[in-house]
Amino acid sequence: MPNRKARLLKLQLGKCPWCGLSFHNWDVLEEDHITPRAIGGKDEYKNLQLLHRHCHDEKTALDLIEIRKKDRSKFLEKLSQFWEKFDWNWINDIPNFIGHTVRKSDVTNGQHTE
Ligand SMILES: [Zn+2]
């Protein structure tokens, strides 16, 4: 058994945190990132746990939901950052594009004061 697994097994007192049952010799154990790496979980002991293979499958299914949510919020965040770059006028509930937002400092720097 790899060192890492043996250490995790000891830390978990031989139990699966997902179902709460003790591991048996015949169980297939898998390493799991408690916070999935796809949403920022680190590859370190405090973010690792050993799970039964079937428990891992269950958790992965839930993780995927979280990952999808996160991706969605990231996408919406990017989208709103994009829209903020432009000026819009709402006319009859329809957004009308006016142009790039020009920061005040850009304007004053470009002006001649003679
Ligand atoms: Zn389990």
Q: Is residue 50 part of a domain?
A: yes
Please tell me the distance between residue 57's alpha carbon and the centre of ligand 1 in angstroms. 10
pLDDT at 91: 82
CATH code for position 23: 3.40.1800
Q: Is residue 21 part of a domain?
A: yes
Please tell me the distance between residue 2's alpha carbon and the centre of ligand 1 in angstroms. 19
Q: Is residue 85 part of a domain?
A: no
Q: Is residue 65 part of a domain?
A: yes
pLDDT at 44: 92
Q: Is residue 84 part of a domain?
A: no
Domain that residue 62 falls in: 3-79
Q: Is 49 exposed, middle or buried (0-12, 13-18, 19+ CB in 10 A)?
A: buried
Please tell me the distance between residue 15's alpha carbon and the centre of ligand 1 in angstroms. 8
Number of domains in the chain: 1
Please tell me the distance between residue 41's alpha carbon and the centre of ligand 1 in angstroms. 21
Please tell me the distance between residue 100's alpha carbon and the centre of ligand 1 in angstroms. 55
Please tell me the distance between residue 17's alpha carbon and the centre of ligand 1 in angstroms. 7
- Is residue 99 within 8 A of residue 86, CB to CB? The reply is yes
Q: Is residue 57 part of a domain?
A: yes
Tokens 């009859």 appear where?
92
pLDDT in tens, the chain (114 residues): 678 999 999 999 999 999 999 999 999 999 999 999 999 999 999 999 999 999 999 999 999 999 999 999 989 999 888 888 888 788 888 878 777 666 666 555 555 555
